[in-house]
Amino acid sequence: MFTGIIEQLATIKQIVKENENLHITLEADFVHELKIDQSVAHNGICLTVVAIDQNTYTVTAIKETIQKTNIASWLISSKVNVERCMLMNGRLDGHIVQGHVDTTGVCIDVEDQNGSWKYTFEYDAPEHVTVDKGSITINGVSLTVVDSKQQGFSVCIIPFTYEHTNFHQLKIGDKINLEFDIIGKYVAKLLKITNLNYLHS
């Protein structure tokens, strides 16, 4: 379980393909605190630590993860938003994030608002919805939705988030990982079941 509050940017040092899997080695300041089999969110993707070596650690992405996220576009030296799993005795500063990417989206506009930035995204997954002032996770970052519409929405980024996540590298046309609000997903699922039961009653 995560919160969507990014701890730092990790740097990709190595990517090794083995059969259908990708072994990704990253450099981060908190490596000395990691343990094998620990979960870490990378651009919103929950991946398991499989190896640790001084100031780097390695995670493995399997075929399912590669197909459903933007991980195939990662490159050596790229910066990745990382967050370790939340402590149960800590404050939930963002929102409940599982690290399970629902779908990918595409950045279609970036607007400099003289002190903040507005990013607009589209996604091709009509079963998922957003609501104005609701929560959304973009590349692991917990954000608030503005201008919600069918299969699209915007978010506004403060300078701290812009500088301390990889949003400052995000440009029009880039693919991003999306995790929709867990409460909204449950509500949508229950409504769908209720409607189906009503139609068949």
Any residues with CB less than 8 A from the CB of 10 and at least 6 apart, and which? Answer: 26, 27, 28, 42, 79, 80, 82
Whether the CB-CB separation of 85 and 120 falls below 8 Å is answered with no
Same fold, 8-84 and 103-193: yes
Q: State which fold the 8-84 domain adopts.
A: Elongation Factor Tu (Ef-tu); domain 3 (2.40.30)
pLDDT at 4 > cutoff 70? yes
Whether the CB-CB separation of 119 and 168 falls below 8 Å is answered with no
* pLDDT tens per residue across span 73-122: 999 999 999 999 988 777 778 888 999 999 999 999 999 999 999 999 99
Domain boundaries, the chain: 8-84, 103-193
pTM: 0.90
Nearest Cα to Cα of residue 79 among 28, 143, 17: 28
- Taking domain 103-193, whether its CATH number is 1.10.1040.10 is answered by no
Positive or negative torsion for Cα 180, 184, 186, 191: negative
